[in-house]
Amino acid sequence: MPRYAILPAPSANRVYAAGAPAMVAAELTVLAEGPLGGRIGEIGIDRIGDLDAIGFTAADLDARDLAALSNLSALSALFERVGGATPEPRDLLRPLVPTRLDRYDDDLISILKYPGKTNEQFTKLLLNVTVWSATGGATTADRRWTVLDPMCGRGTTLNQALMYGWNAVGIDLDTKDFDAYTSFLSTWLKDKRLRHAADTTRIRRDGAVLGRRFDAHIAATKEDLKSGNAQSVSYFNVDTLRSGEMVRAGSVDVIVTDAPYGVRHGSTIPGRGPDRADPERAVAGRSGADRLRRSPTELLREAVPIWARLLRPGGAIGISWNTRVAPRPVALGILADAGLEPLDGPGYDGLCHRVDRTIVRDVVVARRPGGVASDPDELAKR
């Protein structure tokens, strides 16, 4: 049976780059067992010269399989191995041309730099694994998905969704992150001369201002402009525990978020003054009436049930978090307690990796029971 090799792309983050082959192998396992229906196997790390590659076998890769493989998070090049499954003098690599979903220049993802930014390759991996876990994940390239990041920060997940040609919704309390994202995206769209409309408005409830909302509609091509087939991105600058007030129930396909590592994130404890022993708890740009929660586990227990109601039946949620804050069984239990079906086993259990001395990051994925893939035209109208 033919064997193939994936060369992983380099990463600016040295620690992540060291673990990338194993991470891509786990990501590929989820793809193989899900959308590809077990048509590829024998996934492992192959040594080619002095490089680590991700190897696998497949009887016959069709165009649909190749399209799915082309969007692996750290794929640099894909080859069919000719002349044997192990490196030999006559073992040659025949390149296969990837067919990526990317619609825009990659600086949409890479240009915005700031301390604490989630690695772009990992953001793509988390989105991929979650989409492939949803009912209808096999149609990744055939429909426009709606992606929600309920703690989106400066929008790496939102921009990756836009890069794929999908719709994006973000929620975050931090006013500096909201301002940074809206300023960046508005400027980027103008610099790229893309047809778009963007607007920032206030969010009001019962006469009170809760926060701000940014909406943009983007036509990537002239054909999209003519047909009215524009992408949309919305960012709500509010507490994530208000997600249910901002987003219609059952209206998103997947929820993807990089959970707090125990330092800072986007939810508050109303009515409590600032912690004078730790002034960093105060939310930038807000009064001392509210301060940031410190326990990510506490936040997820409150937020996940709210987020779960926003998923369509069959939709999936993927959360990355610091295992030093909570062990994997606790994170899976939070998803199960919210009425979701946690997904575990091969692939899902291979995504844990070191970020730095204090953070060991893992991924948990769950699916909302029931349902089949919704009509993409209906989803595009939300």
Tens of pLDDT, residue by residue over 330-370, are: 999 999 999 999 999 999 999 998 888 888 999 999 999 98
User: Alpha carbon of 206 to those of 171, 172, 173, 238, 333: distances in Å?
Assistant: 20, 21, 19, 15, 36
The terminus-to-terminus CA distance of the chain in angstroms comes to 45
23-79 pLDDT, tens per residue? 999 999 999 998 888 889 999 999 888 888 999 999 888 888 898 899 999 899 999
* CB 167, CB 146: distance < 8 Å: yes
Count the neighbouring beta carbons within 10 Å of the beta carbon of residue 77: 15
Query: Is the confidence at residue 263, as pLDDT, over 80?
Result: no
Angstrom distance (rounded) from CA 332 to CA 365: 8
pLDDT value of residue 268 = 47
Distance CA 13, CA 51 (A): 18
Tens of pLDDT, residues 99-120:
899 999 999 998 887 777 788 8
Residue 172 has pLDDT above 90, yes or no: yes
Domain ranges of the chain: 3-96, 107-380
What pLDDT does residue 84 have? 54
Q: How far apart are CA 236 and CA 234, in angstroms?
A: 7
Would you place residue 15 in the very low, low, confident or very high pLDDT band (cuts 50, 70, 90)? confident
Model pTM?
A: 0.86
CATH topology classification for 107-380: Rossmann fold (3.40.50)
304: its two tokens: 């996940």
pLDDT cut 90: percent of the chain above it: 59
Tell which wins on pLDDT, 222 or 34. 34
The average pLDDT across 163-178 equals: 96
pLDDT tens string 299-336: 999 999 999 999 999 999 999 999 988 899 999 999 99
What phi and psi values does residue 128 have, to the nearest 5 degrees? -60, -55
